[in-house]
Structure formats: C-alpha cells, structure tokens
Homo-oligomer: A and B are copies of this chain.
Amino acid sequence: MSRLRRVTPVPSDIDIVKAHSCLPIGEIASKIGLTASDLEYYGPFMAKLNTKIPASLEPKERGKYVVVCGITPTPLGEGKSTTTIGLAQAMGAWLNRKCIACIRQPSQGPTFGIKGGAAGGGYSQVIPMESFNLHFTGDIHAISAAHNLIAAAIDARGLHEATQSDKALFNRLVPKKPGKPRVFSPIQKLRLKKLGIDVNIDPEKLTDEQKRSFARLNINMETINWNRVVDLNDRFLRKVKIGLSPSEQGFSRETQYDITVASELMAILSLANNLKEARERIGNVVIGNAKDEKQTPITCEDLGVAGAATVLVKDALKPTLIQTLEGTPVLVHCGPFANIAHGSSSVIADKIALKLVGPDGFVVTEAGFGADIGLEKFVDIKCRSSGLLPDCVVIVATVRALKTHGNGPPITPGATVPAEYLQENMELLEKGTVNLETHIRNIRRFNLPVVVAINKFSTDTLKELDFVREKAIAAGASDAQIANHWELGGEGALDLAKSLIKVCDQSESNSRFLYDLNLTIKEKIEIIAKQIYGAGSIKYSEKAEEKIKLYEQSGYSSMPICIAKTQLSLSHDPTLKGAPSGFEFPIIDVRISVGAGFIFPMAGEILTMPGLPTRPAFYDIDINTETGEIHGLF
C-alpha cells in the first residue's frame, strides 16, 4: 500500500527524498477525482488546480476538517509540519481514506540563509522538495511583483502630484488622444463613484474643484504604510531612503523592505474565498492617509492599480497540487506571516480539498506558531472568512519542549542539545507540562475537540511519554497518542490518525469564536490577551491609543484582531516559559490591514526582514553541471 522504502537509521531529509521518485501528478490528481481539465501542469510533478471553488459547503458534502497546531515551541520547532504530513500519509496510504494535506508555501529567502526546509522531515515529507523550497509555481514572485507595482505607483503618484498643476494632472490622467474625446477608464470611474461624481459625465464637464479632487489623492507621504518587498534575507533593506536621484527632484523618503510573505497581499490571497473577493480586498487596501483633516484613507482603488495587481496574482489564487513521500495529495497555497498576519494556508485550498475528499475524507491543515497565536487566529480570522469551522484540533507536543517550559537549559540552533533533553528528567517535564495543559484548555474555549500528538524523539522514555499522555487527557484532550511518523512515515502516525477519526465521528459542531466582532477593539484585545495568553492587564502606548481612536473613527472597529507577538512564550516575553499569568501585556502600536480585513496590535517589535548570517547556507549549495542535480539544499 505504502510506497515508502524505509531504512534505519533514518537518513538525512535530502537523502530520503532522493531515494523516492515522484509519481506523475496526474496520478495523484486522479486519487481525488481530478481530471486533466482541472490541472495546469508545471512540469511533471506539480500542477495548479483550475478547479471550481465551492461557494458553500454543507457538512454532509464535505470532508472532516482537521487543524494541526503546537505547544509553545523551542527555537528548533516541534514538528507541526512533519505531523501534518505524517498524519496525511497515515490516512491516505495506510487507512485508505481520501485525505489531502493543505500546507503553506515557504519563503525562498531563508533557504539561502539559515538552513532548514519547510517540507516536513524524515519519512514525512512533501516532494518534489527542491521545487517546493525554491520558486515553486511562482506565486510568491507574483505577489512580489504586484506588491511592488503598488509601491511604485504610490511614489510616482506622489511625485506627479507634487510637481504638476491641477489642470496638467487632470489632463494627463484623462488624456485627449488624437481625434478622440477624453474618456474615463472603468477604473477611474470607481474613483468618480467614491467622490460622488456621476460616472457617465463628460470629463470636460467636471468643475475645477471636481477635477482637482479626482486628480489629487493628496497623500500624506509620511503616513505611507505600504513598504516594498523581496523574497530574500537582505538586512540592508530594513531601512532605506528612496528617491535620491536628481530625477525625483528631492522628493526622497525613508521606507523599508519586508520579506514577501509579510505582504498584505499574501494575507489577502489566503483569506479570499474567490477571485471576486480577492479583487475587492486588493481594492480596499489602505496604503496611507490623505493630508486632509479627516486623514481620509487612500486605497489601491484610488491609485488605480488594484486591477493590475489582481491580474498579476490571478494564477497565485490557484493552489498547487504536489504529493507526500507516500503519494498522498498535498495542496500548497499561500504562506502569510503568523505574527503580523494569521499564518495559515488558504481558504480556497481548504474549500477545494474539503469538497474533493467528500464526507468520508479528511483535510489536514496547519496553524502557524503555537496554538495561542496560530489556532486562535485560524479560528477567529480564517474560519470567520471561510465560514468553515474545524472538526478537530491536533496539538503537537514534544517532551523536549515541555522540559524547556519546566525551565530546562536553553536550546540554541547549531549548538549541542543539553543532557537534560537526552535522558529522562521527570522533574523538568512535570513542571513544564503546564504549557500543554494551558493550550488544551485554550482550545477547549472554542468548544473544539483536541487530540494531542506526542511527537516522539528516540531519547524520550516511556515514562515521560505516558506522563504527558495522562496529563493531556486530564486537561481536557479527547485523546493523546504517541506519534513516530518522522521515523516511520504514515505508519508512525496510525494511532494518531485512528484516534482522530474516532473523535471526528463523535464531534458535534457546537464550536464558537473567541470573541464577538461587535465588541470594541480594546475589548477584543483584552479577551485574547487575558483568556489565551494569561495576561493580567493590558498597557497601551500613546501611539496605540491614537491608532485605535483613528481606526474606530474610520469605521474599522468591527474587524477581527491579529495580535503580533513572539511565538516563544504564551506571553509577549520570550523568556517566560511554562504558562505565565497575571503579567502586564504591552501594546506598543496598532496597525491595520484593511484589505486582508484585520487589525494587528503589536506586542513588541516584529522583524519583517531577516538577515544572512556570517556563514549563510549558500556556502553548501551548488549544482552538478553535468546532471543538473542540486547539492546542499538541506
């Protein structure tokens, strides 16, 4: 049944991948009822889905919807992606269930910085792994192009408005071509509409005041919150000054580059239910405010660039089908940040997958970071957008991470793992298990059933593993299973999968969101911070207070909240392990993604542009120029 060829000890990720050839993607597609007309091939092993996105999905016609999240992780990660893949392999290749894993596309940037792929690990991986970690089917490049087009449009417009009279500006925006009258383009009519001007008016008939208000966005360049992006670790772009060439006549300004996955467009694509909604959301993106007293929000629609940006990302709205090592279908789509955005793959992929697997099948997806961030946002942001709530939550825990929560010595990437983690240490484990218990109780606040996946390391003892299992069930988990999919592939996640099937079959859909959207912004922040993170109080900076006031005035207060904070603690402070409580939770700033549709309070500075270390991973990467084979990529 399974096509895995396992050896012991488990070889490196890349060696495992090289020992497993991909099946033709058409063969994978046929497992879930797709035919050639549903596929747009990108080489033999990847295909974008051209298939219809279901407008709605009744429980009777859709598969079970499972989301994998994690406890508060160590910097090494605890195996959420590996568990997602392993679980899909167990369901698909071992239990003969229709199953699709829906995962995020990783950023290409870190591939060349600090080693580490995003394709799972051991015998639970997705393939073709190299394509997956490199350009893939071009979605992130498309998002970069669309994002930077908007940025170029902002600065060019600012310059043109600053250097031209009202009349010149209007006459150029609505040009008279030889032998033809001036006409507004359909996109320009959207701006007329916003300004309350008859869209069918002859451009020559506008009053001077109307021409002025049409042609001048009057952007306050100091309010621009649309940075430029690149899918790369380039620390010198964290803060830049642009427009220094004499041709820009002194209109220079400071701005920054973010890594592309931090783009609001990425969040939009992952939350949109269809092309129409994506187009609307892109039009709604607020790139800054006008200089007027009301600080009128300026949108992509005002700039006239929302249509072109949508054209650039139209194919990026289609998920890409690949496969696991055991031939299970995987849909890869979108990969927004989990701090300044919601951190999960797309609504569109989940909807297509839930339809394709049908009522007996399973869709396994993943929520970024720990459950405090990833799962809360998955439910309160993504599920609100899709209208689909999960049937069950899997939370991944490791004995190693739980020991760090018992205040074990720090774990640093690249350094030797301290002895406490390589031998039995019940004291640290007993102290640290509170982190898992807290996450389980948090998940239960959504009325969602939870199954714990104890991701086993070879050095874990049976006593340790059993302890975690008992505590998990006592804390409210429906079940807890030891999983060993890294070593065994799908077979290692069989107990977990069986448990999950049982829980899903018994699951009653009475799950709920954490907060009501109609509460005030501060009320919503308080619910998340106190109920999920364990905060005792919230402290807002002056800036945060002002922004909240502005957003409420602008009519944005009913949006969901997407708190940006560290993933290394339930709190805002990465050094606070276990389950801290009663702390003061600081909100230093509040920002907004109007297009994506959420407000993101900042509980600390978030780095949106990584850097290259002294010895980047690229020192190991080369190509065999005879065979074309890539060396040293993971």
Contacts and interface: CB of A to CB of B under 8 A. Distances in A.
Most chain B CB inside 10 Å of its own CB: which residue of A149, A310, A631 = A149
Given A41-B41, A141-B145, A160-B614, A152 B620 contact: no
Contacts of A237: 242
A232 interface: yes
A164 interface: yes
Contacts of A148: 230, 232, 234
Contacts of A244: 238-241, 254
Contacts of A169: 614
B152 A234 contact: yes
A156 interface: yes
Interface stretch (A301-309, A368-376, A440-448, A518-526): A301-309
Interface in A490-547: none
A553 interface: no
A541 to B, nearest CB: 19
A618 B235 contact: no
A251 to B, nearest CB: 8
Contacts of A141: 135, 138, 141, 144-145
A174 B620 CA distance: 11
The quantity of this chain's copies bound in the complex is 2
Contacts of A145: 108, 135, 141, 231-232
Max count, chain B CB within 10 A of own CB: residue among A42, A174, A616: A616
Q: Considering residues A164, A185, A254, A613, which has the most beta carbons from chain B within 10 angstroms of its beta carbon?
A: A185
B311 A185 contact: no
Nearest to A243: B236
B248 A235 contact: yes
Interface in A203-240: 230-240
Interface residues of A, number: 93
Contacts of A631: 186, 307
A127 to B, nearest CB: 16
Interface stretch (A286-294, A378-386, A587-595, A622-630): A622-630
A416 interface: yes
Interface string A117-158: 000000000000000001100100110110011011101100
Contacts of A233: 152
Contacts of A619: 173, 185, 187-188, 304
A628 B315 CA distance: 10
A46 to B, nearest CB: 10
B623 A310 contact: yes
A626 B156 contact: no
Interface string A276-303: 1001000000000000000000000000
Which of A245, A254, A613 has the most chain B CB atoms closer than 10 A to its own CB?
A245
Most buried by B among A44, A135, A173: A135
A612 interface: yes
A358 interface: no
Interface of A: 40-44, 48, 108, 112, 134-135, 138, 141-142, 144-145, 148-149, 151-153, 155-156, 159-160, 164, 169, 172-175, 177-179, 185-188, 230-245, 247-248, 252, 254, 256, 274-276, 279, 304-305, 307-308, 310-312, 314-315, 414-416, 611-616, 618-623, 625-626, 628, 630-633
19 contacts: A41-B42, A42-B42, A135-B138, A135-B145, A138-B138, A148-B232, A159-B235, A169-B614, A174-B615, A177-B414, A274-B625, A275-B623, A304-B616, A304-B618, A305-B618, A307-B618, A310-B622, A311-B630, A314-B628
6 closest A-B pairs by beta carbon, nearest first, are A307-B622, A238-B245, A308-B618, A141-B141, A152-B234, A239-B245
Given A135-B312, A275-B625, A304-B619, 15 more contacts: A42-B42, A112-B308, A135-B145, A145-B232, A148-B234, A153-B612, A153-B616, A159-B235, A164-B614, A174-B615, A185-B632, A236-B252, A240-B241, A304-B616, A307-B621
